[in-house]
Structure 1
Amino acid sequence: MVNSFIAIVGLVVAVGGIVLAILRRGKQYREVNEKKQFPAPVLLIIAGCVLGLLSQSFTVIPTGYSGVKTTFGQISESTVQNGINFKIPFAQSIEMVNNKMQDIKYADQIWSETSDRTAIYYSDVTVTYQINNEKSAWIYANVGNYQENLVSQTLVASALKASSKSLKDTDATNRSIIEPAAQESIQQSLDDKYGKDIVFIRKVVIGGADFEESYNQAIADKQNAQLAYEKQQIENQNAIEKAEADAEAKRIAAEGEADANKILADSLSDDIFKQMMLEKWDGQLPKVTDSGSNVFDVTGLLGEEEDGSQGTGNAEAGQ
């Protein structure tokens, strides 16, 4: 930017000197020559040329960039750091290399497969990389069109496929797992291609990851079947628990009834039992019996009661 400004100023000054020289041709020009003095137009032209040379004598490299110096096309091995750097006009040039973090986006789908041999694809992949400023000259000298080819789509696709093939189906679509794995794989691929500490992969972001449609349908069917199975298991368990609870309630009730009957049976004597039978008897004797029938004879009981009654009456008479 500064170089361009100085070059423009020099050009304007030089052109101004030329215009002024044209305007002063003639009588005034001869008078100046006779006095052996340099005319103003010549000074302006010389100043313009000096400014033009000055503009080609240095390069300002901003923060976040480094420079690569070439002399008649020969690339210097040393990287030029940011700041003001001088060069020989028209013999040397300094090219700037971006050392900031940069994003490369790959919109095309990258198809791969998981360790379970399931087809999967990734889309909207963004790779953030950074060039080591100490290696700018090496990259400029050895990588053709490094802005486009340094981190190529082919390399990213290959590394991403290698990452997914090491993961299960459930992990291959988990961004917290696949993205760090892809970052590590891409970094390893770059190290193998260029050497260590040349390019740093700072982050990998995968916008979309999904399986092919047939697999998704199979997964959906499996999930529905699993949900139905779990629902049936819950219903079966509830039925079992209810049956066990009902059985337990009946057992408790039966044990309670048995205990009550035992207590009642233990508390009944023969006399109490006979008395209860008499209280329930309506005074009628069976009208029809067969030879095998056993009919309870209440005569004895009645006799006992009558005897008791008579004994009571006699006792009262004696008094």
Structure 2
Amino acid sequence: MLKDLTSKSGSNAGLIKLAAIAILAIIVLSGSFFVVQPSEMAGIRWMGGKVVTSEPLGPGVHFKVPLVETVDRLQTSRSIYTLAGLDVYTNDNQKVTIDISVIYQIPGRSVFNLLYKIGRAGAVDIDSTLLPVVRDRALEAFAKYNTLSISDQRAQITAQMRSAINQGLGSLFGVDVIDVQLTGIHYSPIFEASIEQAVKAKADAVQAENTVARAKYEGEQATVLAAAQAKAAVEAAQGRADSQVIEANAQAKAAETVGAALRANPEYTKFYGLQHWNGVLPSVTSGGIPLIDLGKSATKEN
């Protein structure tokens, strides 16, 4: 009985040892291989210290000594670094808050420089490494412009920031800047209030100018109308005067003609009277009725 128990105990211990060895082997094997993704590159350090790879490891499966070698990875595909709420100052000492997006890429030649020569080993300091350069170049670009000109010259400011950030990150860290976008411009409440007041004042001035121009136009129109009416009145009066002169001349001519006829032929008086008689005998209160010798006049006319 005791022999059987001892045999079973030894058998269980052997199984436990085998299981432990298997688990250790799995751990060792699983720790001996690692995969570098297509969007990254990597380096290996011995015991967290000396770099044992001569150049960055590209995408694929790689071997390392388990437990004693450490893998450091760095993203090399295009990345977007966003800097929001950055306060900058213009050349007229106005504070403007901006938002910037930097699209960049780390080439293979710069991987070890960023992993092991800048900041702490690994990729833990990449953002804090880029931030000061991006901030400094943005401040430098905005310091050249007046606050009122920012909106009109936004494209020019963005181009200058892109050039400055590209030069700074490239020369210091070997980072390739693909693009820089100025995604937001936020003015101070005081400045926005002053802008609104200026816009309102300008609108009021334009309205006042329009009022003056309208009054001037209406005055000019009234002057033109009055002049036209005066000219028309003068022309009408002149027309009436000319008409009266013509009528007076006609009457004078007619009187002269009648007078000449009477002087030339005294009998014309009777004829003229007959032409202008209305057939009604004149009313008289005393004296006789005037007689007209119609027979004699008729004989002479015949």
Aligned to 1:26: 6
Structure 2 residue aligned with 1:189, among 156, 168, 181? Answer: 168
Q: Could you tell me which runs of 5 or more consecutive residues in structure 2 were left unpaired when the two chains were aligned.
A: 263-267, 276-291
Change in 2 beyond 3 A, CA 1:202/1:110: same
Identify the residue that residue 312 of structure 1 maps to in structure 2.
Answer: 272
Residue 121 (structure 1) aligns with = 96
Q: RMSD in angstroms over aligned alpha carbons? A: 3.8
Contact 1:108-1:124 at 8 Å conserved across structures: yes
SS of equivalent residue, structure 1 residue 63: coil
- The question of whether the paired residues in 2 share the 8 Å contact of 1:163 and 1:178 is answered with yes
Comparing 202-211 with 74-83, greater Cα deviation is found at 202-211
TM-score by length of 2: 0.68
Q: How many residues align?
A: 257
CA contact 1:122–1:206 (8 Å) conserved in 2: no
Matched-pair contact (CA < 8 Å) for 2:104–2:178: yes
Alpha carbons 1:123, 1:206 under 8 Å: kept: yes
Following the alignment from structure 1 to structure 2, what is the Cα–Cα distance between the partners of residues 48 and 246? Answer: 109
Q: Measure the CA separation in 2 of the matches of 1:78 and 1:25.
A: 59
Which position in structure 2 is the counterpart of 1:61? Answer: 36
Give 1:212-231 correspondences, 5 Å limit. Answer: 213=190, 215-231=191-207
* Distance change >3 Å, CA 252–CA 91, structure 1 → 2: same
Question: How far apart, in 2, do the equivalents of 1:309 and 1:90 lie?
Answer: 160
Counterpart in the other structure of 1:167: 145
Alpha-carbon separation, structure 1, partners of 2:269 and 2:141: 111
- Could you tell me which amino acid in structure 2 is paired with residue 313 of structure 1? G
Question: CA–CA distance in 2 between the matches of 1:131 and 1:77?
Answer: 18
Q: Contact 2:33–2:61 (CA<8 Å) still a contact in 1?
A: yes
Indicate how the Cα distance of structure 1 residues 150 and 126 shifts in structure 2: closer, same or farther if over 3 A, else same: same
- Equivalents in 2 of 1:309, 1:176: separation in Å? 109
Code of the residue aligned with 2:36 in structure 1: it is: I
Deviation at 1:41? Answer: 5.1
Tell me the amino acid that sits aligned with residue 28 of structure 2. Answer: L
* 1:80 match: secondary structure: coil
Matches within 5 A, 1:8-47: 26-27=6-7, 42-47=17-22
Report deviation, 1:164.
0.9
Q: 1:50 to 1:218 in 2, by over 3 A?
A: closer
**For 1:1-319, what aligned pairs fall within 5 Å after superposition?**
26-27=6-7, 42-72=17-47, 73-75=49-51, 76-106=53-83, 108-114=85-91, 117-144=92-119, 145-152=124-131, 154-173=132-151, 176-195=155-174, 198-200=175-177, 202-211=179-188, 213=190, 215-269=191-245, 271-272=247-248, 312-313=272-273, 317=294, 318-319=297-298
Larger radius of gyration: 2
Q: 1:70 touches 1:93 (CA, 8 Å); kept in 2?
A: yes
State the shift of 1:234 in Å. 0.9
Alpha-carbon separation, structure 1, partners of 2:168 and 2:222: 69
| Aligned mates of 2:177, 2:216 — CA distance in 1 | 62
Query: How far apart are 1:103 and its partner, in Å?
Result: 4.4
Kindly tell me: are residues 190 and 177 of structure 1, through their superposed partners in 2, closer, same or farther at Cα, counting changes over 3 Å?
Answer: same
Give the distance between the partners of 1:224 and 1:107, measured in 2 at CA: 31
Q: Report the alpha carbon displacement of residue 93 of structure 1 after superposing the two structures with TM.
A: 2.9
Deviations 1:253-291 (A, max 9, x none): 33344444444444444653797xxxxxxxxxxxxxxxx
TM-fit CA distance, 1:158 = 1.7
Change (3 A) 1:271 1:121: closer
TM-score, normalised via structure 1 length:
0.64
Q: Which runs of 5+ in 1 are unaligned?
A: 1-23, 33-38, 276-299
Q: CA deviation at 1:243?
A: 2.0
Taking only the aligned residue pairs, the percentage that are identical comes to: 16
Q: Secondary structure at the match of 2:187?
A: strand
Q: Aligned partners of 1:243, 1:108: CA distance in 2, in Å? A: 57
Distance 1:312 1:41 in 2: 170
1:219 and 1:141 map into 2 onto residues whose CA distance is 50
Alpha-carbon distance in 2 for matches of 1:309, 1:89: 159
